[in-house]
Structure formats: C-alpha cells, structure tokens
Amino acid sequence: MRNRTQTRHKSKRAFACVGVMAACLAALGVTSSLAQGPAQNPAATVPPVNAVMLDRVVAVVNNQAILASDVDDEVRLAVLDPGRAGAVLTPNRALEQLISRALIQQQIRQEDEQAAEPSQAEVDARLADIRKEVPACIHFNCATERGWSAFLVAHGLTPQRVESYLRYRVQILRFIEQRFRQGIRIAPEEIEAYYRETLLPQYAPGEAIPPLDKVAPRIQEILLERQVNILFDDWLRNLRKQGDVEVLDPALETPETAGGAGKGGA
C-alpha cells in the first residue's frame, strides 16, 4: 500500500485528480485567469472581489477524492455527535474520519449496499433524537422548528446536509452491526455510568435534562460503536494496507495517515 504525504509535482497531482477538474485546478494552483492565458500586467492577476475560490483535493482514497470542503463539513457536522462530549474536532482528525469512512463505504458497495441502506424512517428517527438530546442543540430549543432553524444557521448547516450526513452514518452503523455486532452486549450498568459521568455534565444548571429511559437507546448505540471500533480496527487497518490512501496536504497529516493504519470515526 502507498500512503504518502509530500509535496508533489503538478503533473502528479493532475494524475491523482482525474475526474475532479474543478478541484484539480485549485490543487495545481491554476486560477481562472491563468487558465485563459498569461496575464498582461500584474494588476490582471488580482482576482475580482466576487471571485469564487475553487475547492481543492486534500486526500485520495482508492481514486476517490476528499476535498477541503469535505473536511470543513465534517468539522461543522461534529456538533451533531453527542459522543464528542463538547470536544472540538480538528481538521486533521476530521480528515482521518473521512478516510476511514470512504474505505468503509467502498467496502459496503462491494459487498451488499442494499442491505445496509437505511429507511427514511430510520433517518427521521435519528434526526428526532438529535433535536431532543444533543446538548448543543438543546441550547437552541431544537424541538421547535424555529429553534432548529436557528441552530442550523448558527453552525453553517442546512437540513439537506444534515439528512445526508445522518443517512450515511446510519448506513455505516448498519453495515458494522451486521458484520461485527454479533456477540456484543452492552450492560445496563454501562449505560447508567455513561449517562451519569458523560452526558449529565454537558448540561448547564437549570437546563432540562432528558431522563435515562429516553436517552438509553442512544447511549447504547454510542457504547456499541466504541466496542465495535475495537473489533473492526484490524479489518480497517487491512483495508488501508490493501488500498491506496494518499494525503496531499501535509498540514492535515496524522499519525494514522502517516503510518497507514488506525481508526477513524464512522
């Protein structure tokens, strides 16, 4: 497997970015004015005020490009993950999660994508849980449409982007459950401990705290994800060894992307 983080020659970047022309132009340092021909004077190289910045490729996973905008999206969407307990998701870790997710989704397509596809009801149920239970969302009273809209605006999200994010999270969790969950049991004591030690401290004094029986299914899912991570770590590492993961932005390198193995959030 090749896993390289390095400054590449423009022609090599162009080869890695086949099929994503807009992103490749940015990766190669080509602006719209340069593409049209050499500038006639220094002033001509200054982009207009309303110029649109092109996206750029920051990593390639088995010929699948991951863009800088994907990393930005992942950072913003992390607010929907109650398991982060207020921790900030860095761009480096966001890229690592995206690499792992790309590998898993590629495997899903190879095996049985239809079996892992969630129903609309499952996605809607996940969204309803988030609007009621995620501490960052409760601050906005997301149970109401007005509060939910304010929350989305405050975090630079759209309803469509949130639904798409939740859909592939449910898809990946279903795939992992089908493949790795057999034999895993989450004890009631573990759920109670998470509720008491991790969830409750996230609420400010005076805020309405959901009762344990309401959030227990979501806590069980979080704990299940942790257990499953242990089981599929070797599987994911093997996918990395067999595949081609290439980070094109040295600033986003992590020990996992440098070493070619490790876990990322699904």
Of 140 and 263, the one with more pLDDT? 140
Please report the pLDDT score of residue 149 as a whole number: 95
Highest mean pLDDT among 61-75, 108-122, 124-138, 170-184: 61-75
Q: Is residue 215 part of a domain?
A: yes
Averaged confidence pLDDT in the chain:
77
Is the pTM higher than 0.85? The answer reads: no
Q: Is residue 144 part of a domain?
A: yes
- pLDDT tier for residue 66 given thresholds of 50, 70 and 90: very high
Distances, alpha carbon 71 to alpha carbons 85, 173, 219, in Å: 20, 21, 26
Domain with 135, as residue range(s), is 10-259
Looking at the structure of the chain, the number of domains it has is 1
Least confident piece of the model among 165-169, 208-212, 225-229? 225-229
Please report the pLDDT score of residue 254 as a whole number: 78
**Domain of residue 252, CATH code:** 1.10.4030.10
Please report the pLDDT score of residue 190 as a whole number: 95
Please report the pLDDT score of residue 25 as a whole number: 29
Q: Is residue 166 part of a domain?
A: yes
Q: Is residue 266 part of a domain?
A: no
Please report the pLDDT score of residue 93 as a whole number: 92
Question: What are residue 64's DSSP bridge partners?
Answer: 61
